[in-house]
Every structure is written in structure tokens, then in C-alpha cells.
Amino acid sequence: MEKYFDDFDFTNFWDDSKYALENYVEEYPSDELIASIEEELGYKLPASYIALMKLHNGGKPINNCFPTEDDHVQIRGIMGIGRSKTYSLCGDLGSTFFTGEGQYPNIGCCICDTPSAGHDMIMLDYTACGKEGEPAVVHVDDSDRISFLAKDFETFIRGLVHESVYDTSAEDAKAAFHITEHGRFSTILTELCDNFIHFPGIGKVIRNISKAVVSQKGHFSLHADELSYLLYDIQFWLYSNSRSVRNKQQYLNAYPGIMILPSDGEFTMNGYAPGFVEDWMEDRLKSGAIKSGFFTLKMSDTHKQKILDQLKDYR
């Protein structure tokens, strides 16, 4: 480390959480392991990277954002030299997985994953220097667009800053409020609301509940909380009121198109975690809130009344 990262303080660099230790951090690499990893990758690893890995072999940095001309890119972790951890260079979800599956261009090796779960990656780019040279650090998205970040690995590490520098929570909440209050409903959600006679103004109620979600979270997303379950309930009742729900899987397949990932409309969360919806469905089936009958799933009258009582607070 005398040659690399002179005067760089690593005291508060790593976030050694349980998750990081289990998924990123390898044992200190031997010269034999380094050589075998380089042979498997087909590239000579940068000396500055090796020097850092001999101090802390992979992990999650506390400063996890790198400034760009447009804004910044965020990393989740730095891949260590090894094969035993999920996010090591040759681990299950390491460089060999993403480059070997042909998901990323053949320019080098992946060095950092990102919060997008594989939709973009930080790579070492050997295009200009050859497989034995000093690679640049680049950002590659899932359309194979390559953006230069740093001339070498050490420069990249020195340039990392804390995500608080790019805190946009206030702007994000404002945008989410605008979507929930003014965003155009999708065609299917409009149709379902128009066909729903059990509670006048159900569309306005959906907007008011969604605004309450934003007030609590700062963004528009559904998880396992009370308001999320209420919106899950409303969506199922709306859907089953107009269309036949033959089984659990059919509804789970239809669910994203209602107001999560609609093909049209502006009232959307632009993403969701399917596990939360599945857990809600299992809970409702187990409690009898949703019942099977004549090859269809329907909400029980008792649960419908419970929902109606809740909706009165959001007129």
C-alpha cells in the first residue's frame, strides 16, 4: 500500500455489515489465488486493486457514489478476489456470471455491482490497454452503453463520495405527490373504477390513500404495511368485481398492470416487489378474507365491509 492510496484514510471506508461479510468479503487473497482468478477472467488485475484487496478483500464501501458529468452512479459493493462469496469476481453473481452469460460487452471484467440488480455495472475496460495493461473504469448499462468514469481503479476509489451528497428525497416526494394527485389512471384502472358501484368516488379514494403512503414513506411504493395492504385489497376487489379471478397465480400475473407497471397512464409506481403481494394474498386466503368458490376467487362480504369502513377516512 506504499505505492497506492498514499495518504488515503480507510478508517471509515468499509461498511462491514452482516450482509457485506456474508456476500462480499473474502479471505485475504494469496498470490496463487490471484493468478488463478486472473487466468479465469482472462485479464491481469490492476495492481492498485490487488493492493486494496490484500487489505480488505471485497465489501460494501460507505462512500458508494461516483460523480459523473450528468449526475452520479451508485455502487452496491466492490467484488473481492475469490470464488466463495456471491459477489466475488468469480462468485455466483460476480464478473464471470455477467460477462459469461453475454449480458455485458467483452471489454474486461465487472468490478462493482449496483443497486439495479444487474441492469448496470461498473467494469474495468481493457479496450485501449490490452489484457495486461492498466484498465480504465467505466459504467455499462443494460443497453451496452459505455460511459467513462476514471482513468484507473485508484482514481475511481478516491473519487467515491457519500450518497447524502445526492439526496433528492424532497424532490422525489414532491414528484410522487404530483403523480398520486394528478397522474392519469391507466385504461384498466379507469375501467375498474368506473365499474365499481360499491363506493362512490373510489378513484379519489385511491389517490388519497396513495398520497398518505407518500406522506409516510417519501415515495410511492407498497410493501407490508397497513396502507399497502389496504391498497392491495382495493385492487383485488376492483379487479374481481369486473373480471373473473380463477386462481391466485392468474391474479398475481394481472396485478402489475393495474397501477404498478401499466402500459399506459401516469399513475404508477414504476416497480414493485412481487414477494409482498404474494404474502398479502397468502394472508388473505389463510384468513378467509378471500375465498374460493365455483372455480373463482372472491373477497368475503365480511372483509368487504371492513374495507368500506376504512375507505370512509379517505373520501
Whole-angstrom Cα Rg for the chain: 25
Residue 273, amino acid = A
The last residue of one of the domains, among 116, 150, 166, is: 166
Q: Is the pLDDT of residue 231 over 70?
A: yes
Q: Which domain holds residue 66?
A: 18-166
Residue 226 lies in a domain: yes
Same domain as 230, residue 119: no
Confidence of residue 169 (pLDDT cuts 50, 70, 90): confident
Residue 231 lies in a domain: yes
**What is the pLDDT averaged over residues 213-220?**
91
Question: Looking at per-residue confidence, does 291 or 172 come out higher?
Answer: 291
Same domain as 298, residue 231: yes
How many domains does the chain divide into? Answer: 2
- CB count, 10 Å around CB of 285? 14
Q: Is the pLDDT of residue 263 over 80?
A: no
How far, in Å, CA of 209 to CA of 102, rounded?
43
- State the residue for C-alpha cell 373504477: 193
Query: DSSP string spanning the chain?
Result: --SSSTT---TTTB---HHHHHHTPPPPPPHHHHHHHHHHHTSPPPHHHHHHHTTS-SB-BSS-EEE-SSSEEE-SEE--SSSSSTTSTTSTTSHHHHHHTT-S-SSEEEEEE-TTSSSEEEEEE-TTT-TTS--EEEEEETT--EEEEESSHHHHHHT-B-GGGG--HHHHHHHHHHHHHHPPPPHHHHHHHHT--SSTTHHHHHHHHHHHHHHHHSS----SSHHHHHHHHHHHHHHHHHS---SHHHHHHHTHHHHTS-SS-S---S---HHHHHHHHHHHHHHTSEEEETTEEEE-HHHHHHHHHHHGGG-
Same domain as 155, residue 23: yes
Q: Which grid coordinates are listed for 246?
A: 380463477
Same domain as 120, residue 41: yes
> What is the structure's pLDDT at 101?
67
Residue 195, amino acid = N
Confidence of residue 165 (pLDDT cuts 50, 70, 90): confident
> What is the structure's pLDDT at 158?
95
CB 38 within 8 A of CB 132: no
CATH of the domain at 108: 3.40.1580.10
Give the chain's mean pLDDT: 92
How far, in Å, CA of 220 to CA of 235, rounded?
16
Q: Is the pLDDT of residue 194 over 60?
A: yes
Rounded to two decimals, what is the model's pTM? 0.57
Nearest to 233, CA basis, from 216, 209, 249, 217 = 209
| 122-131, 195-204, 207-216, 261-270: range with lowest mean pLDDT | 261-270
**What is the pLDDT averaged over residues 280-309?**
94
Residue 224 lies in a domain: yes
